[in-house]
Structure 1
Amino acid sequence: MKSFHSKSLLLFFCSLFFLTKTFSQSTAEDSIAYASAIKNAKAIYHKALYPEEGLYTGPEYYGYPFRFQEGQPYYYKDQMDTGWIQYEGVLYENIGMRYDLIRDQLIVTQPKNNARICLINDRASRFHLFNTTFIYLKTDTAKAGISSGIYALLYEHNDNMLVKRNRKTITEELSLAEGILRFINDNNSFAIKKGNKYYPVSGKKDVLNVYADKKKQLQQYIRRNKLDFKHDKDNAFTKAVSWYDSL
């Protein structure tokens, strides 16, 4: 196996060396061809290693041994989605994934046997599923104001960023007729990154405090556009942050 991987790596780097030599004298109009050639070289590399063992080395995921009365534990819906993931610096595409928000586990499906594998969160710098990009933030909680972990990336431009911590919890009720009933509740939180610092925000007041230098203008924008920080937080926070960033 190691010999096979070594040969594949050698093939990949030789291809890159050849491409670099070929396009070293290229002009600007060759940039598209160069990018395409690099993409093809990477595709050959991934195909040679398929299924890539570097991604499928975690423990197996077994799900839940009980049913839920309401809700489901995964991001967006209880089914696998095909997306991409940047894992230990390597980009993997067309990967079957789901994200368990109760256990905070990213799960991939091994294509050989359909086994579900738990990835190590801090090795997944970015991944994309159900039309949402997630990032792993490693922070000093005392200084940053938020804990390390996986966050949905709602907005990013220069030093301004809006992230959402998607989590779910289980509550239990005892029924004489049915035994233990389990319900799933959303437990989400938001944070704005301004400069080098993260600010936890839960409503309009927090946003205005973060952007105190433009507080009056932002209040007018929020009122004019009827942003609802109670029932439509994703949209309200995103529009407020992007508006401030546009100034």
Structure 2
Amino acid sequence: MAISPGVYFLCLLNLFSFGAIFSSATLFTLENGCNFTVWPGSLAGKGPSIGGGGFALAPGSSSQFQAPAGWSGLFWGRTGCKFDNAGKCVTGNCGGGLKCSGGGEPPVSLVEFTLNGSDNKDFYNVSPVDGYNLGLAVKAVGGTGTCQYAGCVKDLNIDCPAELQMLDSGSVISCKSACAAFNKQEYCCTGDHATPQSCSPTKYSQLFKNACPTAYSYPCDNATSTMTCMGSDYAITFCPTGSST
């Protein structure tokens, strides 16, 4: 199962509240740094679909899309896709078609945006809270404010604990969240752990945090993982090879 969206909402509520909107369109550049094709998926929370919900991105290529002021939503990368009658993606599948009909199936690395939120700031983060399938990074371009780099450069599939591994033909293709693997309250932030005060890091989320210090590792990991910027465009890179440069 995925992390409770209710708990995630409680953790992000103060950060992602909407203020007055003054900015024009934001340009997203999606870049494929992998040595294989990635099929980005997108899901809008507020505003229009970006890139029609999904498209192919060859190794070394990039695509650009504009999002209107106030847009919010998710991006993720799909791998091993086959779009025939019985086709789907090996990781990040979203209904079996090129154009996603919903969110990516965990385990999947996500990048999340809310544009022109509180104080007209953009809020963004990279999150393996629902698991990890690909390295993913976000760099602000031309904005003002802190505008920090957010990402998970290290390949978590290499160091994924055996109990969290998802295998295909004997190879680790993605790393589950502890919630998906064990379905316990302390890992899923449900039941007695369903508030920001009781939703705490675990030994598994700490593994993710050590590997990816600027990415979310559990639902209330706000202090070091939610970035802000104003008036920026954004470069989103799959399989990034560096940090902030």
| TM-score bracket for this pair, using the shorter chain length | under 0.3
Q: What is the TM-score with the length of structure 1 in the denominator?
A: 0.24
Bigger proportion of residues as strand: 1
Bigger proportion of residues as helix: 1
